[in-house]
Amino acid sequence: MVKKNVNIDKQLGRDSGNSRPGMDLNIFTLAFGDELEQKFRQDYFQSSVRLLRYSFFLGIIYYSSFAFLDVVALPEVKRELFIIRFYVVIPVILAVFLLSFTKGFHRWWQFAAFIATTIAGFGIVVMTVISPELGRHHYYPGAMLVLFYCYMLIKLRFVWASLAGWLIIIAYLVSTILFPGVDLDVARINLFFLVSANILGMFGGYALEFYARKDFFNRYLLKKESEKVEEANEKLEEKVREKTRSLKEDIQRRKLIEKELIDAKNRAEESDRLKSAFLANMSHEIRTPMNGILGFTGLLSEPDLTGEQQKKYVEIIQKSGDRMLNTVNDLIDISRIETEQVQPAMKTVDVIREFQNFFAFFQKEAKDKDLQLFLDSKDLPEKLVLQTDPSLFESIMTNLLKNAIKYTSKGFIRFGAKLNENHVEFYVSDTGIGIPEERQDAIFDRFVQADIQDTKAFEGSGLGLSITKAYVELLGGSIWLRSEINSGSTFYFTHPLLAIDKKNGH
Ligand code: ADP
């Protein structure tokens, strides 16, 4: 058979529209392409099996109730007719009916229904053959009822139904030729009716299957469309999720930026505040000695001063000058550090000798405040020579010792060093006022003294420790402290041993 495919919408003269695909099927067998056909057959079985069972059940009742007609109209052959009805046809129909409840029935249900219908049709034909004239002439409509069943009720597919229909008609035709008991005119008339019924049946069967397929195809398209919609929905949801995620990230980023901005603003404000406090402190540190100098220089010009008074005033002027010089020196140092002008000039320094010098120099200052000064060199070799910048080293030690004396009112000051694997660890320890823990980090920042209200009792620019830290680091070491409020502080700093010369066998 030539396989011709048709587009159903074109056939029906409808515009299928561009987006909706047409239904391609073979116009003779009504079959779809492979994959779709499989699906259709499954669906067709599921939607037909119930009707098939009802129809077969009804068929059994019909086929058996016609036995009444046999008794009334053809009592002579009723036994034979009964045999055909009750021993052949009905058992076959019953068997198919029962088999329809078995598992693999969907695979061969069309064939089974075809066999049952054909046998039912053949049964009628045999009945006409074996009946006397009345049955021979008038039992043929039974075949029409079978055709009706075959095309309309049991959902036999068009191809199978047509085959069964034509087989029954051929059987009838053959029976009239082989068993010429029927009048030729009657046979012709009967055949005419049978063929017409079959052709109409074919037409009806074709239409039924065609619309069943169309309905299936529409449902199939609908399912596909809804799958597409679902897929699109999922994609959309994924996009929304992605967008939400990126929005969240964006918000987080913005929050972070905002926090950074606030921090930067706070830092700027803090640094501004510190700078103002620093300037105020500096002007205090310059004005106070300046007032001292000017005030006492004025007093010195008084005519009636005793020698004692003169000496005292000169001392005050001297002290004020020193203090101012210190402040100016600190300022110069910090600005040189800031502009990276400080370059260490390494020389050989005898640490023990330097220690002894510091001890001699600060002993007087300590004594003036009733403090004891100790030099701790028990852990050091007798002669320890270090490659360092002598002026930076001296500056560091001086600063720490000065502070120790300055911030201690009773007790002692101890300084010394110990030798480590690859560096010397120096320390300056006191029993002074101590530094609260929360300030210990900030103490090396410049302007810090300026910011501490309650230390105003102690004079000083607040630059000393930041200069000290910068020098320690320039020499390749680090500085830290341990301190407890009201118990005292110890400042440690390291100096690399790289260029150290350990005489004395260490
Ligand atoms: P200042 O010129 O004010 O002494 P520094 O930079 O030398 O400035 O010291 C900073 C601050 O650290 C001081 O104002 C003081 O509060 C604290 N400080 C430094 N050394 C000591 C110490 N030995 N004991 C207690 N406090 C100290």
CA 506 to CA 502: how far, in whole Å? 6
Does the beta carbon of 281 lie inside 6 Å of ligand 1?
Answer: no
Output the CA 400–ligand 1 centroid distance in Å.
9
CA 349 to CA 500: how far, in whole Å? 9
Would you state the pLDDT for residue 447? 65
Q: Provide the pLDDT confidence category of residue 330 given band limits of 50, 70 and 90.
A: confident
Output the CA 399–ligand 1 centroid distance in Å.
9
CA 423 to chain CA centroid, Å, is 51
- Protein residue with least CA distance to atom 1, ligand 1: 462
Contact (Cβ atoms closer than 8 angstroms) between residue 426 and residue 498: no
Q: Closest ligand 1 atom to the C-alpha of 404? A: 23
> Residue 6 pLDDT more than 80?
no
Contact (Cβ atoms closer than 8 angstroms) between residue 93 and residue 63: yes
Does the beta carbon of 285 lie inside 6 Å of ligand 1?
Answer: no
Contact (Cβ atoms closer than 8 angstroms) between residue 53 and residue 97: yes
CA distances 52 to 87, 92, 120, 149, 222, Å, are 21, 14, 15, 10, 27
CA 127 to CA 179: how far, in whole Å? 12
Q: Closest ligand 1 atom to the C-alpha of 428? A: 23
Does the beta carbon of 430 lie inside 6 Å of ligand 1?
Answer: yes
Least confident among 107-111, 188-192, 268-272? 268-272
Q: Closest ligand 1 atom to the C-alpha of 491? A: 23
Joined tokens for residue 271: 């640094």
Q: Closest ligand 1 atom to the C-alpha of 444? A: 6
Using a 10 angstrom Cβ sphere, with 0-12 exposed, 13-18 middle and 19 or more buried, the burial of residue 193 is: middle
Most ligand 1 atoms within 8 A of CB, residue of 412, 435, 451, 468 to mutate: 435
Would you state the pLDDT for residue 13? 44
* 3-state SS record for 210-276: HHHHHHHHHHHHHHHHHHHHHHHHHHHHHHHHHHHHHHHHHHHHHHHHHHHHHHHHHHHHHHHHHHH
What size, in residues, is the chain?
Answer: 506
504: helix, coil or strand?
coil
Would you state the pLDDT for residue 1? 41
CA 55 to CA 23: how far, in whole Å? 30
Output the CA 459–ligand 1 centroid distance in Å.
10
CA 197 to CA 189: how far, in whole Å? 12
Does the beta carbon of 489 lie inside 6 Å of ligand 1?
Answer: yes
Does the beta carbon of 403 lie inside 6 Å of ligand 1?
Answer: yes
Output the CA 371–ligand 1 centroid distance in Å.
18
**DSSP state letters, 279-302:** HHHHHHHHHHHHHHHHHHHHHHT-
Q: Closest ligand 1 atom to the C-alpha of 458? A: 3
Task: Give which of 65, 72, 46, 81 is closest to 145, Cα–Cα.
Answer: 65
CA 168 to CA 447: how far, in whole Å? 118
> Residue 459 pLDDT more than 90?
no
Mean pLDDT for the stretch of residues 457-486: 89
| Number of CB atoms found within 10 A of residue 419's CB | 16
Joined tokens for residue 483: 């301190």
Mean pLDDT for the stretch of residues 284-288: 86
Q: Provide the pLDDT confidence category of residue 421 given band limits of 50, 70 and 90.
A: confident
Q: Provide the pLDDT confidence category of residue 23 given band limits of 50, 70 and 90.
A: confident
Q: Provide the pLDDT confidence category of residue 475 given band limits of 50, 70 and 90.
A: very high
Q: Closest ligand 1 atom to the C-alpha of 432? A: 24
Would you state the pLDDT for residue 449? 56
Could you read off the pLDDT of 222-234 as tens digits, one per residue? Answer: 999 999 999 999 9
> Residue 251 pLDDT more than 60?
yes
Q: Provide the pLDDT confidence category of residue 503 given band limits of 50, 70 and 90.
A: very low
460: helix, coil or strand?
coil
pTM of this prediction exceeds 0.75: no
> Residue 115 pLDDT more than 70?
yes
Contact (Cβ atoms closer than 8 angstroms) between residue 153 and residue 55: yes
> Residue 498 pLDDT more than 90?
no
Q: In what order do the strands lie in the sheet with 371-376?
A: 371-376, 411-419, 423-430, 488-496, 479-484
Output the CA 433–ligand 1 centroid distance in Å.
10
Question: Which alpha helices (H) appear in 339-423, and where do they start and end?
Answer: 351-368, 390-406
- Protein residue with least CA distance to atom 23, ligand 1: 404
Does the beta carbon of 464 lie inside 6 Å of ligand 1?
Answer: yes
Would you state the pLDDT for residue 21? 63
Mean pLDDT for the stretch of residues 149-173: 95
Would you state the pLDDT for residue 442? 82
Least confident among 175-189, 272-286, 303-317? 272-286
411: helix, coil or strand?
strand
Least confident among 30-34, 119-123, 138-142? 30-34
Task: Give which of 204, 197, 189, 205 is closest to 144, Cα–Cα.
Answer: 197
Joined tokens for residue 353: 């000798």
Q: Which residues pair with 506 in a beta bridge?
A: none
Q: Which residue has the tokens 């007087």?
A: 364
Q: Which residues pair with 419 in a beta bridge?
A: 424
Q: Provide the pLDDT confidence category of residue 7 given band limits of 50, 70 and 90.
A: low
Output the CA 449–ligand 1 centroid distance in Å.
7
Contact (Cβ atoms closer than 8 angstroms) between residue 171 and residue 123: no
Output the CA 434–ligand 1 centroid distance in Å.
9
Would you state the pLDDT for residue 408? 95
Task: Give which of 84, 93, 164 is closest to 126, Cα–Cα.
Answer: 84
Phi, psi of 424, rounded to the nearest 5 degrees: -100, 135
Q: Provide the pLDDT confidence category of residue 256 given band limits of 50, 70 and 90.
A: very high
Would you state the pLDDT for residue 11? 46
Output the CA 278–ligand 1 centroid distance in Å.
15
Task: Give which of 464, 488, 479, 352 is closest to 409, Cα–Cα.
Answer: 488
Does the beta carbon of 371 lie inside 6 Å of ligand 1?
Answer: no
Does the beta carbon of 432 lie inside 6 Å of ligand 1?
Answer: yes
Does the beta carbon of 70 lie inside 6 Å of ligand 1?
Answer: no
CA 382 to CA 442: how far, in whole Å? 37
- Protein residue with least CA distance to atom 7, ligand 1: 464
Computed on alpha carbons and rounded to an integer, the radius of gyration of the chain in Å comes to 60
Q: Closest ligand 1 atom to the C-alpha of 449? A: 14
Would you state the pLDDT for residue 15? 47
Most confident of 3-7, 86-90, 379-383: 86-90
Contact (Cβ atoms closer than 8 angstroms) between residue 280 and residue 451: no
> Residue 500 pLDDT more than 60?
no
| Number of CB atoms found within 10 A of residue 328's CB | 13
Does the beta carbon of 461 lie inside 6 Å of ligand 1?
Answer: yes
Most ligand 1 atoms within 8 A of CB, residue of 285, 402, 427, 465 to mutate: 465
Would you state the pLDDT for residue 451? 52
Least confident among 36-40, 110-114, 258-262, 392-396? 36-40
Mean pLDDT for the stretch of residues 203-219: 94
Q: Which residue has the tokens 């006397």?
A: 132
Mean of pLDDT over the chain: 88
Mean pLDDT for the stretch of residues 112-140: 93
- Protein residue with least CA distance to atom 21, ligand 1: 403
Does the beta carbon of 384 lie inside 6 Å of ligand 1?
Answer: no
Least confident among 7-21, 42-56, 60-74, 173-187? 7-21
Q: Provide the pLDDT confidence category of residue 452 given band limits of 50, 70 and 90.
A: low
Does the beta carbon of 455 lie inside 6 Å of ligand 1?
Answer: yes
Q: Provide the pLDDT confidence category of residue 286 given band limits of 50, 70 and 90.
A: confident
| Number of CB atoms found within 10 A of residue 171's CB | 19
Output the CA 403–ligand 1 centroid distance in Å.
6
Mean pLDDT for the stretch of residues 419-438: 93
Output the CA 354–ligand 1 centroid distance in Å.
23
CA 160 to CA 252: how far, in whole Å? 71
- Protein residue with least CA distance to atom 12, ligand 1: 443
Mean pLDDT for the stretch of residues 69-77: 93
Joined tokens for residue 326: 């210190």
